[in-house]
Amino acid sequence: MKRLLAILTLVFALGLGNTALGEIQWHETNRDIQGKTWNDPRTSDGIEIYGRNGVITVVTPKRITVRVYTILGQMVSQATLQNGSYELRLGSRGIYLVRIGNLTQKVAI
């Protein structure tokens, strides 16, 4: 019985995770990125990641796959972004992990 309850809990949690993943979308911003110096030694390949006011912003000079996780490891969003500036509005404040290739950055919003 405990095993069945554990399986049902896992299936339910995975189902909710997929629903939440579909609701959160990345949106391209109108931020002017021309003239930006992409060789910032603090970032990987010129990628900027920061958070403010419930929004995670990613600025990238190339096509990337970005994954956002809660501090507990639950995936919140996964997307492939073209070069440009993108925002992800999250429903709750907290600490998130943003993973792009081999770069992982903690973002507090």
Q: What one-character-per-residue DSSP string does 36-72 give?
A: -----TTSSTT-EEEEETTEEEEEESS-EEEEEEETT
Residue 40 or 101, more confident: 101
Residue 74 confidence class, pLDDT cut points 50, 70, 90: very high
Confidence (pLDDT) at 4: 59
Residue 9 confidence class, pLDDT cut points 50, 70, 90: low
Confidence (pLDDT) at 46: 85
Write the CATH number of the domain with boundaries 25-108.
2.60.40.3080
pTM for the full predicted model: 0.68
Beta-bridge mates of residue 91: none
Backbone angles phi, psi at 92, to 5 degrees: -130, 145
Task: Note whether 86 and 28 are within 8 A (CB).
Answer: yes
Domain range annotation of the chain: 25-108
Confidence (pLDDT) at 45: 77
Confidence (pLDDT) at 103: 86
